[in-house]
Structure 1
């Protein structure tokens, strides 16, 4: 029996992840998770409101890290560079907990109910990041767009990190943001055609 609330919480998370991988999210019950963790079902509900939330327990820490990193980024940086600083800090949270982060992302990717919850969480975090950018003086419209674009790049980098663990998450993140800059600097098809002489006279 776990001796502390924190230990019970950790064991419930680990038990849920194991059972979701073994039997699938839909086939796993909260009673089974509690039994695997060595606690009763009432203890499960003291820590988590439902079986989806077990895999999203770190949201508050992630939000705090992102908000703090945006606020503390050096003055004079462009919004995307501010976000790169912030997501690097958030990435370290994932890297430090890779034994849980990696299978968690895999379970979410193949479970519609969890993907739906992840989208809702992502929307909330994105809005929090946009608010942090606005607090730095980034205009309303640009703050929202930067936050959404930055979150997409972070998500892309996290998936690349899962697929290619030979490189660090920070390396994948830097590459994703470099790719964003490349995309924004690329000429439109019409411009490219005109430059190459392919446009109509």
Structure 2
């Protein structure tokens, strides 16, 4: 089953927020990233949410600099609270960034986006793919994680129910087709390099220039 309601944050001390799905998926995502990320350089995380993934991965990959971002000022405050409390010295202050708008960053050695595509308007995913194509170097990875649909694969019952629940909450939300992402990516100058099955009926999608 896909991570249930990954967009619901539980209030923590002060401004820190907690996303229950993070503890369930961070290790398997981290192990996958270990095969994809460069040894050093700057990793831009799009839609960092609470900031828990950022501080966890920063500890896993100490030679990398992590740039978290989010379009929500409440999330920005939570990210920075986690960064300071965990003394994550290789995590930069969180950046306000709307994936569907102009990006306030010129380059990155890798981009990571976890659990955004299905809980945001389609324009955000389109913006993610086009923005990544503009700032990534050739062969650098764009990593996207979450639940997706595929035309050639039957949708798991749990994902079908999750998709219906999302669309009830917001008609702009819902599980996206991998093929639709691949089409947009191709137009932007990216290639879908890998589709990696993950636990709980999720996928890791790896795009490269």
Does the TM-score normalized on the shorter chain lie above 0.5? no
Greater strand fraction, Structure 1 or Structure 2:
2
Greater helix fraction, Structure 1 or Structure 2:
1
CA radius of gyration, larger in: 1
- Normalising by structure 1, we get a TM-score of 0.28
